[in-house]
Amino acid sequence: MVIIDGKKIAAELRAEVAARVAGCARAPHLAVIVVGDDPASAVYVHNKAIACEKAGMRNTTVALPASASEDELLSVIAGLNSDPAVDGILVQLPLPRHIDEDRILAAIALEKDVDGFHPGNVAALFQKRPCAVPCTPKGIMKLLEAYGIEPCGKRAVVIGRSRIVGLPVAKLLLDANATVTICHTRTVNLAAVTREADIIVVASGHPETLRGDMVREGAVVIDVGINRDPVTGALCGDVLFDEVAPKASFITPVPGGVGPMTTACLLENTLELYLNRP
Ligand code: NAD
Protein backbone atom coordinates (compact mmCIF):
# COMPACT_ATOMS: atom_id res chain seq x y z
CA MET A 1 0.00 0.00 0.00
CA VAL A 2 1.28 3.44 -0.95
CA ILE A 3 0.23 6.57 0.92
CA ILE A 4 -0.09 9.27 -1.72
CA ASP A 5 2.01 12.26 -0.69
CA GLY A 6 -0.15 15.22 -1.67
CA LYS A 7 2.16 17.64 0.12
CA LYS A 8 5.11 16.58 -2.01
CA ILE A 9 3.25 16.65 -5.33
CA ALA A 10 1.70 20.01 -4.42
CA ALA A 11 5.12 21.43 -3.50
CA GLU A 12 6.44 20.33 -6.90
CA LEU A 13 3.51 21.97 -8.69
CA ARG A 14 3.90 25.17 -6.64
CA ALA A 15 7.62 25.28 -7.52
CA GLU A 16 6.79 24.80 -11.20
CA VAL A 17 4.19 27.60 -11.04
CA ALA A 18 6.65 29.90 -9.20
CA ALA A 19 9.28 29.31 -11.90
CA ARG A 20 6.75 30.22 -14.61
CA VAL A 21 5.61 33.28 -12.62
CA ALA A 22 9.23 34.46 -12.40
CA GLY A 23 9.22 34.70 -16.19
CA CYS A 24 6.02 36.78 -16.36
CA ALA A 25 6.06 40.48 -17.22
CA ARG A 26 4.13 41.18 -13.99
CA ALA A 27 2.93 39.13 -11.02
CA PRO A 28 -0.39 37.35 -11.75
CA HIS A 29 -2.99 38.71 -9.35
CA LEU A 30 -5.61 36.67 -7.47
CA ALA A 31 -8.47 38.43 -5.68
CA VAL A 32 -10.29 36.45 -2.98
CA ILE A 33 -13.59 37.62 -1.54
CA VAL A 34 -14.74 36.26 1.79
CA VAL A 35 -18.10 37.10 3.35
CA GLY A 36 -18.67 36.58 7.08
CA ASP A 37 -16.43 35.16 9.77
CA ASP A 38 -16.61 31.39 9.30
CA PRO A 39 -13.36 30.19 10.96
CA ALA A 40 -12.69 27.45 8.36
CA SER A 41 -13.11 29.95 5.51
CA ALA A 42 -10.74 32.37 7.28
CA VAL A 43 -8.06 29.65 7.45
CA TYR A 44 -8.51 28.72 3.77
CA VAL A 45 -8.33 32.37 2.66
CA HIS A 46 -5.22 32.99 4.77
CA ASN A 47 -3.54 29.88 3.29
CA LYS A 48 -4.37 31.02 -0.23
CA ALA A 49 -2.82 34.43 0.43
CA ILE A 50 0.40 32.86 1.75
CA ALA A 51 0.56 30.41 -1.15
CA CYS A 52 0.23 33.30 -3.63
CA GLU A 53 2.99 35.22 -1.92
CA LYS A 54 5.34 32.22 -1.94
CA ALA A 55 4.71 31.68 -5.65
CA GLY A 56 5.54 35.32 -6.39
CA MET A 57 1.92 36.18 -7.13
CA ARG A 58 -0.08 39.16 -6.02
CA ASN A 59 -3.05 38.56 -3.72
CA THR A 60 -5.85 40.81 -2.61
CA THR A 61 -8.32 39.64 0.00
CA VAL A 62 -11.62 41.50 0.27
CA ALA A 63 -13.38 40.69 3.54
CA LEU A 64 -17.05 41.63 3.86
CA PRO A 65 -19.13 41.31 7.02
CA ALA A 66 -21.72 38.50 7.30
CA SER A 67 -24.38 41.20 7.05
CA ALA A 68 -23.18 42.32 3.59
CA SER A 69 -26.00 42.37 1.05
CA GLU A 70 -26.02 40.53 -2.24
CA ASP A 71 -25.82 43.88 -4.03
CA GLU A 72 -22.74 44.90 -2.04
CA LEU A 73 -21.04 41.66 -2.99
CA LEU A 74 -22.07 42.08 -6.64
CA SER A 75 -20.62 45.57 -6.65
CA VAL A 76 -17.26 44.30 -5.27
CA ILE A 77 -17.23 41.65 -8.00
CA ALA A 78 -18.05 44.25 -10.67
CA GLY A 79 -15.12 46.37 -9.47
CA LEU A 80 -12.71 43.42 -9.68
CA ASN A 81 -14.13 42.34 -13.07
CA SER A 82 -13.29 45.73 -14.56
CA ASP A 83 -9.91 46.08 -12.82
CA PRO A 84 -7.25 45.31 -15.45
CA ALA A 85 -4.75 44.50 -12.68
CA VAL A 86 -6.80 41.50 -11.46
CA ASP A 87 -6.44 38.16 -13.26
CA GLY A 88 -8.42 35.73 -11.11
CA ILE A 89 -11.42 36.15 -8.79
CA LEU A 90 -12.48 33.62 -6.19
CA VAL A 91 -15.50 33.91 -3.93
CA GLN A 92 -14.95 31.76 -0.85
CA LEU A 93 -17.87 29.37 -0.33
CA PRO A 94 -20.14 28.83 1.47
CA LEU A 95 -21.82 32.23 1.41
CA PRO A 96 -24.28 33.40 4.07
CA ARG A 97 -27.79 32.05 3.43
CA HIS A 98 -29.29 35.38 2.35
CA ILE A 99 -26.95 35.52 -0.66
CA ASP A 100 -27.81 33.65 -3.85
CA GLU A 101 -24.68 31.64 -4.65
CA ASP A 102 -25.68 31.01 -8.28
CA ARG A 103 -26.17 34.70 -8.94
CA ILE A 104 -22.77 35.52 -7.42
CA LEU A 105 -20.84 32.84 -9.30
CA ALA A 106 -22.44 33.91 -12.58
CA ALA A 107 -21.45 37.55 -11.93
CA ILE A 108 -17.72 36.79 -11.99
CA ALA A 109 -16.22 37.61 -15.40
CA LEU A 110 -15.81 34.28 -17.20
CA GLU A 111 -12.18 35.03 -18.06
CA LYS A 112 -11.41 35.70 -14.37
CA ASP A 113 -13.31 32.71 -12.94
CA VAL A 114 -10.36 30.96 -11.30
CA ASP A 115 -12.43 28.26 -9.55
CA GLY A 116 -14.33 27.24 -12.69
CA PHE A 117 -17.77 27.53 -11.06
CA HIS A 118 -19.20 30.10 -13.50
CA PRO A 119 -21.97 28.48 -15.61
CA GLY A 120 -19.90 29.20 -18.74
CA ASN A 121 -16.97 27.22 -17.34
CA VAL A 122 -19.24 24.41 -16.10
CA ALA A 123 -20.72 24.11 -19.58
CA ALA A 124 -17.25 24.16 -21.14
CA LEU A 125 -16.06 21.38 -18.81
CA PHE A 126 -19.06 19.23 -19.67
CA GLN A 127 -18.66 19.96 -23.39
CA LYS A 128 -14.91 19.22 -23.23
CA ARG A 129 -13.94 22.74 -24.29
CA PRO A 130 -10.98 24.66 -22.80
CA CYS A 131 -11.92 26.03 -19.37
CA ALA A 132 -10.77 26.76 -15.84
CA VAL A 133 -11.04 23.32 -14.22
CA PRO A 134 -12.23 23.38 -10.56
CA CYS A 135 -9.16 23.14 -8.33
CA THR A 136 -9.97 20.11 -6.14
CA PRO A 137 -10.98 17.79 -9.02
CA LYS A 138 -8.00 19.00 -11.03
CA GLY A 139 -5.72 18.26 -8.07
CA ILE A 140 -7.16 14.74 -7.73
CA MET A 141 -6.40 13.98 -11.39
CA LYS A 142 -2.87 15.29 -10.96
CA LEU A 143 -2.34 12.99 -7.96
CA LEU A 144 -3.47 9.97 -9.99
CA GLU A 145 -1.13 10.97 -12.80
CA ALA A 146 1.81 11.57 -10.47
CA TYR A 147 1.50 8.03 -9.12
CA GLY A 148 1.05 6.43 -12.54
CA ILE A 149 -2.57 5.48 -11.84
CA GLU A 150 -4.23 5.23 -15.25
CA PRO A 151 -8.04 5.62 -15.10
CA CYS A 152 -8.56 4.30 -18.65
CA GLY A 153 -10.79 1.23 -18.56
CA LYS A 154 -11.02 1.26 -14.75
CA ARG A 155 -14.24 1.24 -12.75
CA ALA A 156 -14.30 4.54 -10.84
CA VAL A 157 -16.85 5.30 -8.13
CA VAL A 158 -17.34 8.86 -6.89
CA ILE A 159 -19.21 9.28 -3.60
CA GLY A 160 -20.84 12.72 -3.68
CA ARG A 161 -22.46 14.73 -6.46
CA SER A 162 -21.64 18.32 -5.47
CA ARG A 163 -20.87 20.94 -8.07
CA ILE A 164 -17.55 21.64 -6.37
CA VAL A 165 -16.12 18.13 -6.19
CA GLY A 166 -18.30 15.13 -7.06
CA LEU A 167 -19.71 16.15 -10.45
CA PRO A 168 -16.56 17.70 -11.95
CA VAL A 169 -14.26 14.90 -10.78
CA ALA A 170 -16.67 12.34 -12.24
CA LYS A 171 -16.51 14.21 -15.56
CA LEU A 172 -12.69 14.34 -15.49
CA LEU A 173 -12.53 10.59 -14.75
CA LEU A 174 -14.94 9.97 -17.62
CA ASP A 175 -12.76 12.10 -19.91
CA ALA A 176 -9.85 9.91 -18.80
CA ASN A 177 -11.88 6.93 -20.05
CA ALA A 178 -12.83 5.41 -16.71
CA THR A 179 -16.27 3.80 -16.35
CA VAL A 180 -17.77 6.12 -13.75
CA THR A 181 -20.54 5.64 -11.21
CA ILE A 182 -21.68 8.56 -9.06
CA CYS A 183 -23.13 7.66 -5.64
CA HIS A 184 -25.04 9.90 -3.26
CA THR A 185 -27.29 9.82 -0.22
CA ARG A 186 -30.07 8.02 -2.12
CA THR A 187 -27.77 5.29 -3.45
CA VAL A 188 -29.08 1.90 -2.36
CA ASN A 189 -26.40 -0.46 -1.00
CA LEU A 190 -23.41 1.84 -1.42
CA ALA A 191 -21.02 -0.90 -0.28
CA ALA A 192 -22.06 -3.18 -3.16
CA VAL A 193 -21.14 -0.39 -5.61
CA THR A 194 -17.85 0.60 -3.97
CA ARG A 195 -16.73 -3.04 -3.68
CA GLU A 196 -16.70 -3.21 -7.49
CA ALA A 197 -14.50 -0.13 -7.85
CA ASP A 198 -10.86 0.11 -8.93
CA ILE A 199 -10.75 3.82 -8.00
CA ILE A 200 -12.94 5.39 -5.30
CA VAL A 201 -13.15 9.15 -4.76
CA VAL A 202 -14.92 9.98 -1.51
CA ALA A 203 -16.40 13.49 -1.19
CA SER A 204 -19.36 13.01 1.13
CA GLY A 205 -18.47 15.46 3.89
CA HIS A 206 -18.98 12.81 6.58
CA PRO A 207 -16.29 10.86 8.46
CA GLU A 208 -16.26 7.07 7.98
CA THR A 209 -18.42 7.12 4.82
CA LEU A 210 -16.03 4.53 3.37
CA ARG A 211 -15.10 1.65 5.69
CA GLY A 212 -12.88 -1.38 5.23
CA ASP A 213 -15.65 -3.80 4.29
CA MET A 214 -16.72 -1.50 1.42
CA VAL A 215 -13.46 -1.77 -0.50
CA ARG A 216 -11.95 -4.54 -2.54
CA GLU A 217 -8.26 -5.50 -2.27
CA GLY A 218 -6.05 -3.23 -4.39
CA ALA A 219 -8.48 -0.33 -4.81
CA VAL A 220 -7.16 3.22 -5.18
CA VAL A 221 -8.82 5.46 -2.58
CA ILE A 222 -8.90 9.25 -2.79
CA ASP A 223 -10.26 10.95 0.33
CA VAL A 224 -11.47 14.50 -0.33
CA GLY A 225 -13.14 15.05 3.04
CA ILE A 226 -12.08 17.65 5.56
CA ASN A 227 -13.85 17.05 8.85
CA ARG A 228 -13.18 17.44 12.54
CA ASP A 229 -13.32 14.25 14.57
CA PRO A 230 -16.20 14.89 16.98
CA VAL A 231 -14.32 13.21 19.84
CA THR A 232 -10.66 14.21 19.42
CA GLY A 233 -11.17 17.39 17.36
CA ALA A 234 -8.44 16.18 14.98
CA LEU A 235 -8.72 16.71 11.24
CA CYS A 236 -10.11 13.65 9.46
CA GLY A 237 -11.38 12.71 6.03
CA ASP A 238 -14.46 10.87 4.78
CA VAL A 239 -12.61 7.52 4.80
CA LEU A 240 -12.00 5.33 7.83
CA PHE A 241 -8.29 5.29 7.06
CA ASP A 242 -7.16 2.57 9.49
CA GLU A 243 -9.62 0.06 8.02
CA VAL A 244 -9.35 1.02 4.37
CA ALA A 245 -5.59 1.61 4.02
CA PRO A 246 -4.53 -2.05 4.53
CA LYS A 247 -6.73 -3.11 1.59
CA ALA A 248 -5.88 -0.21 -0.73
CA SER A 249 -3.08 -0.14 -3.30
CA PHE A 250 -2.89 3.66 -3.04
CA ILE A 251 -4.64 5.97 -0.57
CA THR A 252 -4.55 9.69 0.24
CA PRO A 253 -4.17 10.74 3.87
CA VAL A 254 -6.06 13.60 5.55
CA PRO A 255 -4.38 15.98 6.06
CA GLY A 256 -1.64 15.90 3.41
CA GLY A 257 -3.54 14.37 0.48
CA VAL A 258 -6.00 16.24 -1.69
CA GLY A 259 -6.04 19.48 0.36
CA PRO A 260 -2.58 20.79 -0.61
CA MET A 261 -3.31 20.03 -4.28
CA THR A 262 -6.37 22.29 -4.23
CA THR A 263 -4.25 25.31 -3.29
CA ALA A 264 -1.50 24.44 -5.76
CA CYS A 265 -4.06 24.11 -8.57
CA LEU A 266 -5.53 27.47 -7.60
CA LEU A 267 -2.11 29.03 -8.23
CA GLU A 268 -1.81 27.21 -11.54
CA ASN A 269 -5.30 28.35 -12.60
CA THR A 270 -4.47 31.97 -11.67
CA LEU A 271 -1.29 31.81 -13.74
CA GLU A 272 -3.20 30.32 -16.69
CA LEU A 273 -5.86 33.06 -16.53
CA TYR A 274 -3.06 35.65 -16.57
CA LEU A 275 -1.42 33.97 -19.56
CA ASN A 276 -4.77 33.73 -21.40
CA ARG A 277 -5.41 37.48 -21.12
CA PRO A 278 -5.59 39.17 -24.52
P1 NAD B 1 -21.45 18.59 -0.23
O2 NAD B 1 -22.03 18.49 1.14
O3 NAD B 1 -21.81 19.70 -1.13
O4 NAD B 1 -21.78 17.23 -1.01
C5 NAD B 1 -21.69 15.98 -0.40
C6 NAD B 1 -22.22 14.94 -1.35
O7 NAD B 1 -22.04 13.67 -0.76
C8 NAD B 1 -23.71 15.08 -1.65
O9 NAD B 1 -23.88 14.94 -3.06
C10 NAD B 1 -24.36 13.90 -0.92
O11 NAD B 1 -25.42 13.32 -1.68
C12 NAD B 1 -23.22 12.90 -0.80
N13 NAD B 1 -23.26 12.13 0.44
C14 NAD B 1 -23.26 12.61 1.70
N15 NAD B 1 -23.27 11.58 2.59
C16 NAD B 1 -23.29 10.45 1.87
C17 NAD B 1 -23.31 9.07 2.20
N18 NAD B 1 -23.32 8.67 3.47
N19 NAD B 1 -23.34 8.18 1.20
C20 NAD B 1 -23.32 8.56 -0.10
N21 NAD B 1 -23.29 9.86 -0.47
C22 NAD B 1 -23.27 10.79 0.49
O23 NAD B 1 -19.86 18.52 -0.01
P24 NAD B 1 -18.64 18.95 -0.97
O25 NAD B 1 -18.57 20.42 -1.07
O26 NAD B 1 -18.64 18.13 -2.21
O27 NAD B 1 -17.42 18.47 -0.06
C28 NAD B 1 -17.27 17.12 0.31
C29 NAD B 1 -16.15 16.99 1.31
O30 NAD B 1 -14.94 17.41 0.68
C31 NAD B 1 -16.30 17.88 2.54
O32 NAD B 1 -15.72 17.19 3.65
C33 NAD B 1 -15.46 19.09 2.22
O34 NAD B 1 -14.99 19.74 3.37
C35 NAD B 1 -14.36 18.46 1.44
N36 NAD B 1 -13.68 19.34 0.50
C37 NAD B 1 -12.34 19.28 0.49
C38 NAD B 1 -11.61 20.03 -0.40
C39 NAD B 1 -10.13 19.90 -0.41
O40 NAD B 1 -9.46 20.75 -0.93
N41 NAD B 1 -9.59 18.81 0.13
C42 NAD B 1 -12.26 20.90 -1.28
C43 NAD B 1 -13.66 20.94 -1.27
C44 NAD B 1 -14.36 20.15 -0.37
Question: Is 277 inside any structural domain?
Answer: no
- Catalytic residue selected from 87, 112, 113, 115: 115
Asked about 5 being catalytic, the answer comes back as no
Question: Is 15 inside any structural domain?
Answer: no
Encode pLDDT of 104-160 as tens digits.
999 999 999 999 999 999 999 999 999 999 999 999 999 999 999 999 999 999 999
Range of 231's domain? Answer: 135-259
- pLDDT exceeds 90 at position 260: yes
Residues 106, 143, single domain; the answer is no
Using an 8 Å Cβ cutoff, are 180 and 137 in contact? no
The residue whose CA has the least distance to atom 13 of ligand 1 is 204
Question: Is 16 inside any structural domain?
Answer: no
Which pLDDT score, from 0 to 100, does residue 229 have?
Answer: 86
Encode pLDDT of 8-61 as tens digits.
999 999 999 999 999 999 999 999 999 999 988 999 999 999 999 999 999 999
Percent of the chain surpassing pLDDT 70:
100
Nearest to 212 by CA among 243, 237, 189: 243
Which pLDDT score, from 0 to 100, does residue 62 have?
Answer: 97
Whole-model pTM: value is: 0.98
Asked about 127 being catalytic, the answer comes back as no
CA-CA distance, 64 to 87, in Å (whole number)? 20
Q: Where are the beta strands (DSSP E) in 102-185?
A: 155-159, 179-183
Question: Is 122 inside any structural domain?
Answer: no
The residue whose CA has the least distance to atom 34 of ligand 1 is 226
The residue whose CA has the least distance to atom 31 of ligand 1 is 205
- Helix ranges restricted to H, 127-251: 135-146, 166-175, 190-194, 241-244
Residues 144, 249, single domain; the answer is yes
- pLDDT exceeds 90 at position 268: yes
Number of domains in the chain: 2
Encode pLDDT of 226-249 as tens digits.
999 888 989 999 999 999 999 999
Cis peptide before 255 (omega within 30 of 0): yes
Cis peptide before 94 (omega within 30 of 0): yes
Distance 278 CA to ligand 1 centre (A): 36
Which pLDDT score, from 0 to 100, does residue 230 have?
Answer: 81
HSE-CB for 198 with a 13 A CA cutoff: 13
Asked about 92 being catalytic, the answer comes back as yes
Question: Is 79 inside any structural domain?
Answer: yes
Mutate which of 44, 185, 254, 263 for ligand 1? The one with the most ligand atoms within 8 Å of its CB, which is 185
